[in-house]
Structures are given as C-alpha cells and as structure tokens.
Structure 1
Amino acid sequence: MATITIIFIGSLLCLLTLWRRFTAKHKIPLGLKPLPGPKGYPIIGSVPDVPEKNGFVKFAEWGKEYGPIYQVNLAGHNHVWISSDQISKDLLAKKGAIYSDRPHIPALISDNRTSSQYLPLLSKNDGWTRQRKFANVIMRESEKALFHRYPELEAKRMLVELMDDPSRYNHALESFIARVTCRLAWGHSDASDELKQRARELLIGVSPTGALGNKLPFLMSLPDWLVPAKAWERRRAATERRFFEIMQGEVECDIKEKKAPSSWMKTFLENRSKWGFKYELEGAYAVGMHGIAGALTIAAPMQTFCLAMCFYPQYLPMLQEELDRVCGDRLPRSEDRPNLPFLRAIIRECIRWRPPVPTGIPHYLIQDDEYDGYHIPKGSVMHPLEWAIGRDPTMFPDPEAFNPLRWVKPEYPTYQEPLTQYPTIINCTQFGYGRRVCQGQGVADEDLLIGIGSIAWLFNIAQNPGDGDVTVPTVVSDPETVENVSLGINEKASISNEELNAGINSKKPTKEDIILSKYDYPGSYPTLDEKPTQTASGKSETKDKKAPKIDPTLDFTTLLIAKPLPFEFQLTIRDNERAQRIRNLFKEGVKNGDYKGGREYWGENQGKDKPLGWGKV
C-alpha cells in the first residue's frame, strides 16, 4: 500500500510540474515573434510525433516545413532545431557567451553540468575551463607524436581479426578504436573491452531514448529500491569511478617502475599540480572521459564505410588505386595523409552522409535572445541538426547520395584547395560549434585515416549475391594457420573455407559476446533470429513477416550515437601476399609483447549481481 501511495504522489508531482511548464506564459518582447514549430499536445507537447527510430529524420522534415530554425515543445521543455550551418555559427559560435552551456541530463546521479566528471557535458564553469586546458595539452602532444603510432600498431590486429572472422566485423572495428583509445589514455590496450562497456553504459545514461530517467525525470527523485533504473545508474557510476581509479593506479606503478608508455595519464601524473584539479579523481575522470568519448563514436564512420561501399561500389576501386599508388605493398601510415585526398574524401563523406551524432550535441541558452526577428527564450535546448546541415542542397547537390567526388572535384561547392590539406574532417560541423568544438577530432582523423585506409588496402567489400540469400561474410582466399595465442581474437588452430562458410553460429564467441547476449537495450544489435538481412534488391527483411521493411542504409541504433546496425556482406582478401605479410607482422608483434588479450575487472560473469560490474545494457 505504501508503494502505491509513493507512486501516486510521484506521478501527481510529475503531472503538476509538466502542467506548470505547459501553462507558463513566456513574455515575448515587443517587436519580436515566436519561433515557428509544431503545436503539439497538452503537457506532452510533440513527443508522440517523434519516432524513436531515426527521429532526426522527422526533425529534418519539420525544418523543411517550418524553416531552418524552429522550436518544439517536448514534455514541457523548449527545443530549438537548427538546420543551417550559418545560423548555427551565428548563434552557437558568435554568441558563445550565452549559448555554450549544456542541458541537464536527469538520468545521471551526479549533475552533469557541475560534477567535473564529463567534460563534453559540463556547463561553462571553472571545471570546464581547467579540463579544457588539460585536454588541449594532451591532444596537442599526442598529435605531435603521431599519436605514438598506436593506430598503425592496432590496424594489424584489426586486419587479422577481419581475416579470421569477417562476420564479426563490427566487433573488430570497435575493438580497433577502443584499443587505440586505451593506449592513448593509459598506455596499454588490455582494458579495451571494459572501456567499450563503460562507453555503452554511459551512452544509455545520456541518451534521450536510453535511460528511463531521461524520459521520466521525476523517477530520479524516488528511492533506488523503487526505481531500478536509478539503482542501475548508481551502480554504473560507482563502477566507472572504480575503473578510472584502477587505471590511474596502474599508470602510477608503471611510472615508478620506469616502464610507463606514453599516455594521457602519464602526462597528467608527471605534472599533477600543474592542472589545478579540485578533487582527488578529477585527473582520472579527465583522462577516462576522453577514453570513453572515443571508444565507440569513432567506430561509427568505419561501419558506415562498409555500408557505403556495398551500396556505392564504384568508389572502392578508386580508393584502392590511390592506396596502391601511394602505399604500395605496405599499410598506410600517418605521413601518407597529404597524398591520400580521395581516402580523406571518403572519410569526410561518410561523416556527412551518415553522421555519428545526427541530432548534434545540444547547447543550452542561459538568457533570452533574438535572431532574425524571432524570440528565443532562456532555457531553450539548442540542437545543430547535423542530419539536415549535411543535406543542404545548395552546398551538397543530390544530398542523399554517397558521393566522395564532391570533395575532390572543382565543380562541387565543397571543393577546396590545396588537396594536400583538403578535404579534412578537422573542424567539420559534426565536431560542434564555438566553444564546444570537440578537442579529440585529431584522434578521430588519425584513427579513420589508418583504419579505413587499412581495410581498403587489404579487402574488397561487396553486397551478398542472390535475391534474399542469407550469406555470412566470407574471406575468399586460402586461409593461413593462426597460432592459438589468446589475444582477444577468435581462437582457432586453423581455419578452412568450409568453416568460414558454415555460418555465424559456428564462430566461437568471446566472453564479451556471451555476457552481452543475455541483455538488451534501446538501440542494441538485434539477435541472429531478428537481424534484418540484405537482399539483392537493396531491401531489408526479417523473420517476422509483419515487420516493416527498413532502408538498409538507414537501419541505425536509436541512442545518441547513431551506429549502423550489423548487416551481411562479402569481405574478400585482395592479395594473398599482403594478407600473409600482415599475419607475419602481427605474429612478430605478439612475440614482442605488443598485443595482449583483454582483462576482466569484476570477477566471474563481469560482476553480475555484485556491487560493481557490468550492468544490463
């Protein structure tokens, strides 16, 4: 009875709060007019009109109807959507003094605006200032060191994983990014699985379509025992804190023993008093947050690359010709960047065509403002809508088509010279505006150049043949013997073509796969029985005949970072001699201790049902 009473009181308070927000009259100054936008419904606003799947498409459609800047009431909060790069610059960059805060994320236990835990989510305050200075230093130093060659080192392991089990390409690409990021953050790669899980859980916590606390904020004021979502977030935060503490402690020990590789944490610890951090673990969070930020987001354009090459195959031979001409029989490296304009064009177009954060990272307006005769009220959440900004037809003719030529041919508006520098993703709109520009864009640029370049250098990518056939990705070559070295890749004494063609279920899952297979979360990958399969006609089918067909190039996760869901395609080795060379380099690296397997931090089954460990995701 007491539980029912608490729920009733909580629901009543929620409704009362929403009603007050809805009925509150915001006075518009004389001579100005309100922004246009959909009217919505009482209390809930336009929430029912926004689909959970690919909601950014709906916001872009409203932009065509109401103009390049409009407002939407979402459950009592005013959201302003901007479909124009110029308007985004006029407001978010030129007026950064009032547009550089972040909105509150209700589902997080600690207030994201003031906790000094997550730099990208902080409001413009002292914590934001000191951590941004620290970020500038670690990014600049690692860039001057060519990111310590970590992407080039991990590219070899990624290619071996793709050769051994191409059906798990998503795992290989995400692991490549997570391992590079782990090395940059702490000097070692063995925490990559844990870093990916920390990123997954935080992504749920900050996504509007993820944690329940973001959909029903009043729940976060109730006791943990009454709200499992709140208890989940408290455990997530505690596990994350302990993980960051462990990683800092390990680098401290490495420094004492004079064996610490270059890392952001080493830079912090060797100048600990220089940064002015205010609480014991602020440095651990300052490093760990950059690790989390890069762990999954940078993999999304790599997955988009595979998608694009299946549906726009004419561009892969052009890319491979450039790589063969510049790199020859070796993998691409950092110094090749000026001579690889078409690779950079492919990367730039992947980010435009399917932006990793299609809704843009929101800003928060701290005082009333006006623009072009319109009144923008204080407290508005401002969204530079990347999906629409990258589809401006005056800047991007035929915007729905994947076309990297738009970046390297003079007849396109996006063409810039010199081609030794342009195209580039540095300072592109996807990395934000004004004072909130992402400081890790150099890392993303390097990872994508080496990662995508390496894949195209070794593999051909194509759709599966046949009409409606379900075929796993296969490596077309004589497979080589693989040493059973337990390095976080699939353990096989040898692989045959028959084994590769036997199907996904024949592949030995990793511990990460086994644990994650028990859980489901908004935007998670579908199970094998539910996974859409690509047909020759370009449609998507599932075993549920009643399910609507989905454009396979728009089958994305529903969280803040929109990642293409796994699909089936052919991955074939271009040259057996290259493949053997990569295997030999990888084996040599194994002997030198360059590649280590993943670690588990929380005991059996990653701490399930224990105070710390992996949460259901």
Structure 2
Amino acid sequence: MFLSSSVGALGVSLSLYILFRKWQFRQRAQGCSLPPSRPARFLLGHALEIPTENEARVFQQWAEELGSDIYYIDAAGTPIVVLNTIELANELFEGRSAIYSSRPGSIMMNDLMGWDWVMSNMPYGQSWRERRKLFQQHLHPSNRGIYEPYEQEQVNRLLARLLDDPQGFLTHARHVVGGLALTLGYGLNVKAHNDPHVEVATAATKAVTDAAVPGAFFVDFIPALRYVPEWFPGAGFQKKARIWKGMMEEMRDRPFEDVEAKIASGIPARPNFVSAAFDKLDPSKDVPHQRQVIRDTAGMIFAAASDTTTSVIQTFFLAMVCYPQVQRRAQEELDRVLGGRLPEVKDEPDLPYISAMVKEVLRWRPATPIGIPHLSTSDDIFKGYFIPKGTIVIPNVWAMLHNPEVYPNPDEFNPDRYLKDGAFDPLVRDPGTMAFGFGRRTCAGAHIAESMLFLTIASVLSAFSISKPVDENGKPVDVKPEYNRGIISRPVPFESFITPRSAEVARTIRNLQESDSA
C-alpha cells in the first residue's frame, strides 16, 4: 500500500513539474515560436522517441522529414535543439559564444557518476578556465618538444606489438593511446598487455559515453528522480551509477597518486604534466585547490585520449581493410618520399596524402557523431525562433561531415577530396573544424591528437600491409563498417590480416624494440 501510494505521488509530482516547465517557456517566448518539431505526446513530448543508437543518423533523418536543419525536441519538459549544419553551429557557438559555451548538467553523468570534474563536462566558468589554462601552459601547440618524442616512442611500441600479435590490433590501438596519455600526463609506462590503468580507463570511459547519450537515462530529463533510492522499482540507474563512479575514481586517482608518491619520495620520474604542474604550484595560495585542478586536468588528458583517439585509430584500420586502393596510394607516397625508412613527425609537410588520410579518418566515421552538447545560459531569439534558457543544443557532427554538398559521395573513404594538384585544396572544409568541437569548447588537445594520428597512420602503413581476413578456404571475407552506440562511437570488433611489408622492415622494428628496452 505504501509503495503504491509513493509511486502515485511521484507520478503526480513529476507531471506537475513538466507542466510548470512548459508553462514557463510559453511565458518567456515573447511571441516567437520554438523551432520546427515532430508531433509530440502531451506530457512526455518526444522523450520516448529520442534514439539511443544511431542517434546522429536518426537526427539527420528528422531534419530531412521536417525540411529544417534546426529543430526542437521536447524531452519531458527539457528543451533540446539539434543543429545539422556547420553554418548554424558556427552562428551559435562562435557568433553567440557568450550564450552557448556552457554544458548541460547531466544528473546521471556528473552528479550520480561523479564526472563533473572533467573539463569537457564542466559549465563555462572559473573552474573550466583554470583547467584549460593549466593544460595550455604545459601542452600548448608551440611546445611540440614535450609531446612529440613520447608520440614517437609509443608508435614504435605499437609497431612491435603488431609484429608480435597482429590479430590484437584493436587492443594495441588502445594501448598506444593510453601509453601516450600515461607517459605525457604522469610519466608512467604502459605494460605490454592488460595494463591496469588502460583497462580501467577503457571500462570507465565506455560507461560514461553510454550515459552521455541524450535520452539514455530518464533522470537527465526529470532531475527529481535522482532522489529515488536504489531499491525503488525502476531505479536500476542508481546501482549502475554507483558501480560506474567507482571505476571513474580509480581511473582518475590511481595514476595521479602514483606519481604524487614518487614526487614526495624524491624518486626521479620522466618529464610529465603532473610533475611540471607541481613544480609551478604557488604555496602562498590554496594548495589543496591547486592539487585538485592538477589532478582533474591530468585525468582529463587520460580520459579523453583513451576513448576518442583510440576510436579514430581503430577506424583507420577499418578503412584500410575496406579501401585497399587508398592504402596502396598512401604506401606509394611513403616509399617515394621516405625511401624505405620509418617516418617521423617532421615528415608531415612532405606527405600530403597521409595528412589527407588523417582528415578523412576524422570525417568518415567521426568519434563523436553528435558532438558534445552545449547549453544555452539565457533566453535567445535565433532566426525568429525562441530558444529558452537551459536548452541542450546538439551539434549533429555526422550530418555536417556527411553533407554531400560539401563532401560528395560522403559514405566513401576518399582522401583525394582534400587535394588538388598535389596540395591541399583551400576550398574544401577541414573536418577538424567539426570533429574537435566548436567555439570556446573546441578540444584543447586537438593538435596532439592530429599529430599522433599522422605518425600512427604513416608508420603503420610504412611497415605493414592491412587486408581483409580470410576464411578456412583462404578466400577474403568482407568487413562491414559497423559501430556501437554511445556519444563516442567505436568500431564493432572486426578482423584483419596484417603482415610486415618486408623482412627488412621487420628487422628495423626489432631493433627499435631492443633499443627501447635497453
């Protein structure tokens, strides 16, 4: 009886809350209408229709159905606006950055799972600025000497792992990225297999990217549900949040505490972000606060790289399986320019086709197909439409990067689309202007990611041939580009056949491996 009464009272309270929210919007609309929208239910609006897989493609289809590149979703009283073109995204996130630079306060992800410390999730304000400033002080694009040697080291290790275990290429991609993040952030080395830091980061970031999908958890639309106890019917999200929060804390705190202990005991460590930040710590100011900012910024380096860059490298392997002609063209350029040696970052200006491949990998299957949502911090009138304060604004990056007017035959992997007469065509939009975010919230580490992608792609294709797997009869097996759900998209595990291009390159990799372990 008590349980039945509690459920009924909760239902009435939630209904009144939703009605009040909608009444507020109408009062503030100043006679303007909301953007175009699909037919909605009385209370829930479109909450039950919001996709939890293939979100970007569904959002693109809705734009086509409505005949509008901007439209409105009512998620049980929570306003959502979806943008499907780069022009609209730039008008809001660049031209009106004072209003559209914040982030939604996800109850599930930030409050229950504890991810409110990550710079990409933070609202625009002092805490965000502190962490971004600290990152740029140490890892600015001009400080190439800090991160490029570590990139070279990790890529050399990737080549050795591919030589020893070619079938583990998807796992090796995680380790090369995790290795760079751990070394750069903390001065720690990654174990060759099943590194505990990398494994917990993989589990923790998978959980948070699943939780970040708009509509994945109803508590994000009806915040009062956060107070429902774990034992209450339908409150299974509370148990998930508790388990996932433990993963997050281990990922963020364990490597930080490891390097902090080394600093305290005077054990010499490789140059790294945490040590450098502690060297510049101001003892006259709030030391615990400064420590927290350092910890959070280092954790952001680890978390961001562990998922997005890993996804892009795995997509590169998938593209090479599906488009062998692109691989041959790339290897022709590498052989002609390098003459058989392995590439270095400094070779990038002489390898335009490889650089174009980096752009196409970012575009073809973007790691964040719907982008990280922004939040409006005041009421706004945009193109005659009313956008209420507190609106979640989603940039549909997939639609932007698969616009056939900008990228003809967008489903085809074609690096040539960026080149004209052997040089970059300035008339073709760089996918990085969309793949790495917008306005003030553009990814602070985009330059490191692109540099790492170039070196990885150039090195792997210099050393190895990647082809379709074969069946028991030795016949090639087709591989379809399939991706999982989540705000960060990863290829569904697939097979490939990876072999060294020559005995000489295999010896070169072995020599690199021996010098690395010496």
Query: How far apart in 1 are the matches of 2:308 and 2:142?
Result: 19
Please say if residues 109 and 234 of structure 1, whose CA atoms lie closer than 8 Å, have aligned partners that are also in contact: no
- Displacement of 1:334 in angstroms is 1.3
- Structure 2 residue 262 is the aligned partner of structure 1 residue 254: yes
Please say if residues 118 and 285 of structure 1, whose CA atoms lie closer than 8 Å, have aligned partners that are also in contact: yes
Q: Which has the higher helix share?
A: 2
Matches within 5 A, 1:365-444: 365-409=376-420, 415-416=425-426, 428-444=433-449
Q: CA-to-partner distance for each residue in 1:349-396, whole Å, 9 max, x for gaps?
A: 111111110101111011121222222222211111101111222221
- Displacement of 1:25 in angstroms is 5.2
> Partner of 2:237: helix, strand, or coil?
helix
- Structure 2 residue 318 is the aligned partner of structure 1 residue 307: yes
Tell me what 2:193 maps to: none
> Partner of 2:340: helix, strand, or coil?
coil
Please say if residues 406 and 429 of structure 2, whose CA atoms lie closer than 8 Å, have aligned partners that are also in contact: no
Matches within 5 A, 1:433-512: 433-464=438-469, 469=471
| Bigger relative contact order (CA 8 A; separation at least 6) | 2
CA pair 287-211 structure 1, distance change in 2 beyond 3 A: farther
Please say if residues 204 and 211 of structure 1, whose CA atoms lie closer than 8 Å, have aligned partners that are also in contact: no
- Structure 2 residue 274 is the aligned partner of structure 1 residue 265: yes
Q: TM-score, normalised by structure 1?
A: 0.75
Query: How far apart in 2 are the matches of 1:586 and 1:449?
Result: 21
Matches within 5 A, 1:31-180: 32-66=32-66, 67-108=68-109, 110=111, 117-140=117-140, 143-180=143-180
- Displacement of 1:16 in angstroms is 4.0
Tell me what 1:562 maps to: 489
Matches within 5 A, 1:271-290: 271-273=280-282, 279=289, 281-290=292-301
Query: How far apart in 1 are the matches of 2:37 and 2:208?
Result: 31
Query: How far apart in 2 are the matches of 1:257 and 1:147?
Result: 24
Corresponding letter in the other structure for 2:257: G
> Partner of 2:117: helix, strand, or coil?
coil
2:306 to 291, 295, 299: 295
CA pair 402-128 structure 1, distance change in 2 beyond 3 A: same
Tell me what 2:183 maps to: 183
- Displacement of 1:202 in angstroms is 3.1
- Displacement of 1:11 in angstroms is 4.5
Q: What runs of 5+ residues in structure 1 fail to find an aligned partner?
A: 474-533, 539-551, 593-617
- Displacement of 1:345 in angstroms is 0.6
% same residue: 26
Matches within 5 A, 1:332-371: 332-371=343-382
Corresponding letter in the other structure for 2:515: E
Tell me what 2:228 maps to: 222
- Displacement of 1:563 in angstroms is 1.0
Tell me what 2:194 maps to: none
- Structure 2 residue 210 is the aligned partner of structure 1 residue 207: no
Query: How far apart in 1 are the matches of 2:9 and 2:158?
Result: 53
1:197 to 189, 196, 203: 203
Q: CA-to-partner distance for each residue in 1:53-74, whole Å, 9 max, x for gaps?
A: 2121010112223312111223
Query: How far apart in 2 are the matches of 1:288 and 1:299?
Result: 16
Query: How far apart in 2 are the matches of 1:155 and 1:51?
Result: 37
Corresponding letter in the other structure for 1:91: L
Query: How far apart in 2 are the matches of 1:321 and 1:436?
Result: 38
Please say if residues 370 and 395 of structure 2, whose CA atoms lie closer than 8 Å, have aligned partners that are also in contact: yes
Please say if residues 148 and 345 of structure 2, whose CA atoms lie closer than 8 Å, have aligned partners that are also in contact: no
- Displacement of 1:399 in angstroms is 2.0
Query: How far apart in 1 are the matches of 2:149 and 2:392?
Result: 39
Tell me what 1:319 maps to: 330
Q: TM-score, normalised by structure 2?
A: 0.88
Query: How far apart in 2 are the matches of 1:301 and 1:341?
Result: 19
- Displacement of 1:348 in angstroms is 0.5
- Displacement of 1:460 in angstroms is 1.6
- Displacement of 1:428 in angstroms is 1.8
Query: How far apart in 1 are the matches of 2:472 and 2:205?
Result: 31
> Partner of 1:26: helix, strand, or coil?
helix
CA pair 292-243 structure 1, distance change in 2 beyond 3 A: closer
CA pair 472-102 structure 1, distance change in 2 beyond 3 A: farther
Query: How far apart in 1 are the matches of 2:463 and 2:33?
Result: 58
> Partner of 1:97: helix, strand, or coil?
helix
- Displacement of 1:170 in angstroms is 1.2
- Displacement of 1:424 in angstroms is 6.5
Q: What runs of 5+ residues in structure 2 fail to find an aligned partner?
A: 191-196
Q: CA-to-partner distance for each residue in 1:88-132, whole Å, 9 max, x for gaps?
A: 11111111111111111111363899x861111111121112111
Query: How far apart in 2 are the matches of 1:76 and 1:32?
Result: 18
Query: How far apart in 2 are the matches of 1:585 and 1:387?
Result: 39
- Displacement of 1:225 in angstroms is 4.7
- Displacement of 1:186 in angstroms is 0.2
CA pair 409-148 structure 1, distance change in 2 beyond 3 A: closer
Q: CA-to-partner distance for each residue in 1:138-180, whole Å, 9 max, x for gaps?
A: 2217842150511211122222322333332211111111111
Q: Structure 1 residues 135-144 or 174-183, which shifts more? A: 135-144
Q: Structure 1 residues 295-304 or 49-58, which shifts more? A: 49-58
Query: How far apart in 2 are the matches of 1:305 and 1:393?
Result: 22
Corresponding letter in the other structure for 1:263: N
Q: CA-to-partner distance for each residue in 1:210-255, whole Å, 9 max, x for gaps?
A: 5675477544212245445324423443553455444333323433
CA pair 438-471 structure 1, distance change in 2 beyond 3 A: farther
Q: CA-to-partner distance for each residue in 1:282-330, whole Å, 9 max, x for gaps?
A: 3211211221011111011112112222222211111111222233333
Q: Structure 1 residues 239-248 or 442-451, which shifts more? A: 239-248
RMSD, aligned CA: 3.1
CA pair 471-432 structure 1, distance change in 2 beyond 3 A: farther
Please say if residues 353 and 401 of structure 1, whose CA atoms lie closer than 8 Å, have aligned partners that are also in contact: yes
Query: How far apart in 1 are the matches of 2:333 and 2:8?
Result: 65
- Structure 2 residue 513 is the aligned partner of structure 1 residue 583: no
Corresponding letter in the other structure for 1:254: K
- Displacement of 1:332 in angstroms is 1.8
Q: Structure 1 residues 152-161 or 127-136, which shifts more? A: 152-161
Corresponding letter in the other structure for 1:144: R
